[in-house]
Amino acid sequence: MPAPSTPTLTLRLLAELIMSLPEIPLWKRRELCSAIRNFAKVCGLTPDDIIADPGTIRTLRAKAPWLLAGYTKGSWANILSRLNHALEIGGVKVHRQRRNFKPNSEWEQLLAPLCRRDRDDIHRFAGWCSIREISPHDVSPAIFDPYYAYLDQQMTQTNPRERGHVARRAWNRAIAVEGSSYQTIPAPNPIGKRLVRWEDFPQSLQDELRAYGERMLEDDPFDEEHRPIKPVTLDNYHNRIRAMLTTLVDNGMSPDDFPSLATVVDPATVKRAFELRLDGRPLDDKARMDLHGITTAVLSIARYLDLDKDSRARLKQLAKKVRFKASGMCEKNRERLIPLFDPSVRTKLLNLPLKVADDLRAVNAPTVRQAQRMQMATLLDLLLHVPMRIRNPSELDLATTIIPPIAGSIGGWRISIPACEVKNQWAIDAQLGEELGAVLDRYVNVFRSVLMKGPTSALFVGQRGARKGSSNLSKQLARFVRREIGVVIHAHLMRHLAAHLYLLANPGDYETVRRLLGHKNIETTIRFYEGLLTDDAFARYDGLIEEMRSKDAARPSKPSSSSITDDFDEGDLL
């Protein structure tokens, strides 16, 4: 007879275990169980749903909307600390942030002369080595590998691998310096699938690929059949083709089997790559997106090579079978937009730029941190009023595309971006309102100069004094909004929010949304955003049900909704 399997330890079972331990004072048991319950509630789950595992806790913690739930930074930190303590009591190995291992005397002696930053960055690693009796002279890449694994398995704080890299970089910077007897630790190989390098393919293919790229970037107004593409599109085509070739190489083919572009886009080769990438999976939307991207690149090369009619027809047939046409926002964007359907959350986002400007209204000699905060508030306000793609605000220039009031007071601020600088060749020409103009005035005249290291007309300047790139600007905006109000967004989500807000107030007016977002075809606008009205339809129907219920004199009382508190009720959890 087989032994009974041990049940998976969930947070509910962990709470039951803690409540059964008489050696822990009752107030402490209730405090720990309250932390378990409140953590689960903020994550939108029950303690039964959450496995008591550091990796699971870390993933949920990264997405938990604790600010929206009404917690302060300090109270949320207390919940996480108590949760970690509860995991320890339950026998779960967990690295607690403030329970760093104490370095031994050899490590202490090594760390003593370092600056505080380097000492703090290495301290956790030094303590970990000390309890394993690893001398500083024994540190090698083989030592760092299990350290990375330890952090990944036992740390509940976010991004454990990056914390390992912090120690590695500090080690190389402060200890394994030139002339020392300590080993330099190289960066480990990235986790995940790596594509085959172009350098691994025959030189003839590389030469043809280079010629193809040069031709596709050429802008020849007198060649009606040639359609130039942008550098970012060319990079995307290269990556798609490389992904396809990597699939073939991983399944037995050699890079030497592709001496030319013609061998790459051979219909039989492309079909084989598609079969391997599907690997028996259904041809759903996710698979179609992947294969559709590859066929777009393949057909571009086929046109460039002027393949024979039969080969092009076969490729077009393949493209037709895997064609993907977006029928709305992707699932991830819709999930991120859902919290903004709530009026209270939406109001926090809409008022955030004004709140930051009000917080800093008395500041006339700002710090860099204050200047960066005001910069992000200005960017958010711009995207709320003019829902551009992030590349356009990153390239805004006070000398050309964003125009201040004449003589500082006549008229208002204006954005004027020519069609050639916009993705859909749709010019952006917008007069900005007074509130946004006031925010821009404060940012440009008081805060922007703190970030400048030299003369520049760029609106959004980085710490090095140069124009901020679109990727950095988008990431910083996401961190800013998450830090300020607890909502997870990205810059492009502002376009979806603009469509939602306008259609909420003006159902069915897709033409205005089309112009607002710069779509060439109204079918694109309808296809992406008609689903947003579904929520409004259900809300109106829900209101009808409530109204009809209210007319019933014998209507039962409405059930009260629970709220998140720090008070523990054993009945709720156990």
Q: What is the CATH number of domain 345-492?
A: 1.10.443.10
Divide the 574 residues of the chain into consecutive groups of 10 and give the mean pLDDT of each group. Answer: 57 93 94 94 90 86 88 92 91 68 88 91 90 91 89 79 90 91 85 80 95 89 79 91 94 93 94 91 87 93 92 93 80 85 92 95 93 96 94 92 78 87 86 92 92 88 84 93 91 92 89 90 86 76 84 66 47 48
Cβ–Cβ < 8 Å for 47, 570: no
β-pair partners for 397: 458
Q: What crossing angle do the helices spanning 343-359 and 368-385 adopt, rounded to 10°?
A: 140
- The two counts, helices (H) then strands (E), for the chain are 26, 3
Find the Cα–Cα–Cα–Cα dihedral 5, 10, 13, 14, rounded to 10°.
Answer: 120
How many CA atoms within 13 Å lie on the side-chain side of 315? 24
CA nearest neighbour of 471 among 572, 359, 401, 394 = 394
Sorted by sequence, the CB contacts under 8 Å of residue 126 that are 6+ apart come out as 103, 107, 110, 111
User: Which pLDDT value is given to residue 483?
Assistant: 92
* pLDDT at site 212: 94
Query: How big is the chain, counted in residues?
Result: 574
Helix (H, G, I), strand (E, B) or coil at 464: coil
Q: Which residues pair with 51 in a beta bridge?
A: 10
| Residue 460 main-chain phi, psi, to 5 deg | -105, 105
Q: What is the pLDDT of residue 564?
A: 42
Give residue 409's pLDDT. 65
Sign of the CA dihedral with 392 first, then 387, 497, and 484 last = positive
Specify burial of residue 451 (Cβ count, 10 A radius: 0-12, 13-18, 19+).
Answer: buried
DSSP assignment of 336-375: HHGGGGSHHHHHHHHHHHHHHHHHTTT-SS--HHHHHHHH
Helices 510-517 + 493-505 axis angle, to 10: 150
Q: Determine the pLDDT at residue 3.
A: 43
Residue 4 is predicted with a pLDDT of 43
Residue spans of the domains in the chain: they are: 11-90, 105-175, 198-322, 345-492
Enclosing H/E stretch for 428: strand 428-431
pLDDT value, residue 5? 44
Tokens 């120690």, located at residue:
167
